[in-house]
Amino acid sequence: MPKGRRISRGARAALIAAALIGIAGALYGRYWSQAGNAALAAKPAARVGVPVTVAVAARREVPIYMSGLGTVQAFFTVGIHSQVDGKLQEVLFTEGQQVKKGDVLAKIDPRLFQAALDQAKAKKAQDEALLTAAEKDLARFKGLASKFIETQQNVDRQQGTVDQLKAAIIADEAMIETAQTNLDYTNITAPSDGRMGVRLVDPGNIVHASDAGSLATLVLTRPSAVMFTLPARSLDDVRSAMARGPVEVIAFDQDNRRALSTGQLLLVDNIIDQTTATIRLKAIFPNEDDALWPGEFVNARILIETRSSALVIPPTAVQRGPQGLFTWVISENDTAEPRPIEVGPATKDVVVVTAGLKDGERVVTDGQYKLKRGVPVTISAPPTAGSGRNS
């Protein structure tokens, strides 16, 4: 304002009114700002869903297996022994060689046995000559006796001589057979097909039929057997499977990862081992590729049955609580509810559900430890192999 000019009374009133209006507007804005903040603070916070991984209960064909630890056995295991005493002249097999039944494996010095055979044959020829002469004498005695020139006593005595010589010839034939058998035993042959083991006696040694040790061991690995055990409570299931037809058995390695061979169940032992409450079973495998080796430990997996249209879920979805088994089910509005279930046989990948679930329902497979009844969930994709971060 220029100096010395006075403000009129009307202008002064207008300025005071404008100031009052500004103050009132400021107070009004502040009031509604505080009211809005209070309303936001009073509004309940939105509930955050628990992240979980789910799977869908589905129906599928499920093979039911039982597994037991077992050992591979050769179909035949034969210790090769000499059946006669003598000097081991030759060993004709190679260690680890596959041989056929009847192959000559070793030879014993045959000279003494050949001489015994020749002696037995000569004795028979001698007795046959004596028998011929005795039969001729008997014929003459009978002719003379008919003319009353020879006595009946001499005829009977000559008949006894003939009978003795006939018996001697039969004994000679037995001696020849014995000598021939001993001579044949000087060639030690394979009693069956199979693979030879380590040679335990070298040529030049004297061997005896009574020796406890063998020259080598022959094993027949084609086919091979696996002897394994199962819990005694599975006996009825195994017998029911055998009643339906041939039962398949798969032999896996010790790590239970790689299948070695497939065969069939041969028999169930006739007694239960009460000390371990187990039953022994034996399966036969063709083993054409020699994947099974005698003495090897394997896991035998036996196919008990194949269930068609069985409702299954992953094993990680099954939880155990105070009231028994249950699983977390995701409802249509994405909230979790615990559901008691009954389960049947289980495999490495799935569990058969016999009651408590329906086809198509979603079950939680990961994240259960954060769940409560009615809690909303956020479904996340299942982790994939190798998806972890590198530290």
CATH class of 110-185: mainly alpha
Return the structure tokens found at 134. 């005795």
Res. 386: pLDDT tops 50:
no
Q: What is the pLDDT of residue 144?
A: 84
Q: Which residues contact 27 (CB under 8 A, 6 or more apart)?
A: none
Which residue did the predictor score with more confidence, 14 or 89?
89
Which residue did the predictor score with more confidence, 350 or 1?
350
DSSP state of 66: E
Q: What is the pLDDT of residue 235?
A: 93
Q: What is the pLDDT of residue 6?
A: 53
CATH architecture of 48-79+214-382: Beta Barrel (2.40)
Q: What is the pLDDT of residue 64?
A: 87
Q: Which residues contact 200 (CB under 8 A, 6 or more apart)?
A: 213, 214, 215, 216
φ/ψ of residue 334, rounded to 5: 60, 45
Q: Tell me which residue has tokens 């299954």.
A: 312
Return the structure tokens found at 386. 């190798």
Q: What is the pLDDT of residue 265?
A: 96
The whole-model pTM stands at 0.64
pLDDT more than 90, % of the chain: 65
Tens of pLDDT, residue by residue over 278-336, are 999 999 999 999 999 999 999 999 998 888 889 999 999 999 988 899 999 999 888 99
Question: Cβ–Cβ contacts within 10 Å for residue 1, how many?
Answer: 6
Which sign, positive or negative, has the C-alpha torsion 241, 242, 245, 251? positive
Which residue did the predictor score with more confidence, 151 or 195?
195
Residue range 125-130: mean pLDDT, rounded: 95
Res. 136: pLDDT tops 50:
yes
Tens of pLDDT, residue by residue over 47-77, are 678 899 999 999 999 888 889 999 999 998 9
Residue range 87-112: mean pLDDT, rounded: 95
Q: What is the largest CA-CA distance in the chain?
A: 209
Res. 94: pLDDT tops 50:
yes
Domain borders along the chain are 48-79+214-382, 82-107+193-213, 110-185
Using DSSP, state whether 225 is helix, strand or coil. strand
Element (H, E) at 116: helix 111-146
Q: What is the pLDDT of residue 332?
A: 87
State how far the Cα of 199 lies from the Cα of 186, in Å rounded to an integer.
Answer: 18
- Are domains 48-79+214-382 and 110-185 of this chain identical in fold? no
Tens of pLDDT, residue by residue over 192-227, are 999 999 999 999 999 999 999 999 999 999 999 999
Tens of pLDDT, residue by residue over 253-282, are 998 889 999 999 999 999 999 999 999 999
pLDDT more than 70, % of the chain: 85
Q: What is the pLDDT of residue 165?
A: 94
Residue range 24-34: mean pLDDT, rounded: 61
> For 28-32, 34-38, 246-250, 279-283, which range has the lowest pLDDT when averaged over its residues?
34-38
State how far the Cα of 256 lies from the Cα of 253, in Å rounded to an integer.
Answer: 5
Q: What is the pLDDT of residue 154?
A: 84
